[in-house]
Amino acid sequence: MSDDAFLCGRLHLLQPLKGYRAATDPVLLAAACPATPGQSVLDLGCGAGAASLCLASRVPGLSLAGLELQPAYAALARRNAERNGIALEVAEGDLSHMPKALRRGFDHVIANPPYYPAAGTPSPHAARDRALREDTPIGEWVTAALTRLHPGGWLTMILSAALLPGALAALPPRGGSAQVLPLAPRAGRDASRVILRARKGGKAAFRMLFPFVLHAGPAHDGDRESYTPEASAVLRGGGDLSAAFG
């Protein structure tokens, strides 16, 4: 087990040395969620709690809940929440059979679904393989999220770009006002990941936003951090992505 600092040490999360380990994706996901104090948030597939806890560090007074399929990660999320002094309710279960404890409405649902194809080469670490492999179709993630949202509530997901068409197709008729923020590794590079925001009952036109660039310069030029100032403000400083969404 490692004890990893997030947001320049504002959070410390225990993570397995082998298996799925949170990196930048849950931090970006938390930064994109437009939650405000007093609202409720459900994290589908919360893992060790990284996204929920990063969100809580930025927005005080949230009511946080997480769903996690793997008992070991669910236990780790509870432990990480306690050691960071953040209240997080974690239920174990599958999103296709939502536990009774989470069968209620939320103002926000966030998710970082698995992105490796189900038919790909499996990881030698079973827990990592289960966390990253796309066993549940992306449309089922979207459907489960919309089911749990209050009318007018927001769904925020970070996705492999390859999963975006399926996620968008699953939004109607209950979800709309979709906004897609491409995450470009560098200026001029294709975005392999995107952030999708959509609203339950939303009617606004679809928006493809200007890419959010993560790294400065044309290529990696040494063993040092190369985040753009905007990315550093989010990944290190705990800022939000509201400016990117307009």
Q: Which of 6-10, 75-79, 173-177 has the lowest mean pLDDT?
A: 6-10
Per-residue pLDDT reduced to its tens digit, 56-103: 999 999 999 999 999 999 999 999 999 999 999 999 999 999 999 999
For residues 39-48, give the mean pLDDT: 97
**What integer pLDDT is reported at residue 37 of this predicted model?**
98
Judge whether residue 237 has pLDDT over 90. Answer: yes
**What integer pLDDT is reported at residue 7 of this predicted model?**
95
Judge whether residue 134 has pLDDT over 80. Answer: no
**What integer pLDDT is reported at residue 130 of this predicted model?**
46
**What integer pLDDT is reported at residue 125 of this predicted model?**
45
Q: The domain at 2-245 falls in which architecture?
A: 3-Layer(aba) Sandwich (3.40)
| Distances, alpha carbon 209 to alpha carbons 18, 153, 196, in Å | 36, 20, 10
pTM, 2 dp: 0.90
**What integer pLDDT is reported at residue 120 of this predicted model?**
44
For residues 29-56, give the mean pLDDT: 98
For residues 206-222, give the mean pLDDT: 84
Spell out the domain ranges in the chain: 2-245
Judge whether residue 137 has pLDDT over 70. Answer: yes
Judged by DSSP in three states, 224 sits in coil
**What integer pLDDT is reported at residue 129 of this predicted model?**
41
Q: Which of 38-42, 101-105, 134-138 has the lowest mean pLDDT?
A: 134-138
Among candidates 73, 18, 84, 25, which has minimal Cα distance to 51?
A: 25
Judge whether residue 124 has pLDDT over 90. Answer: no
Distance CA 199, CA 97 (A): 23
Distance CA 95, CA 157 (A): 15
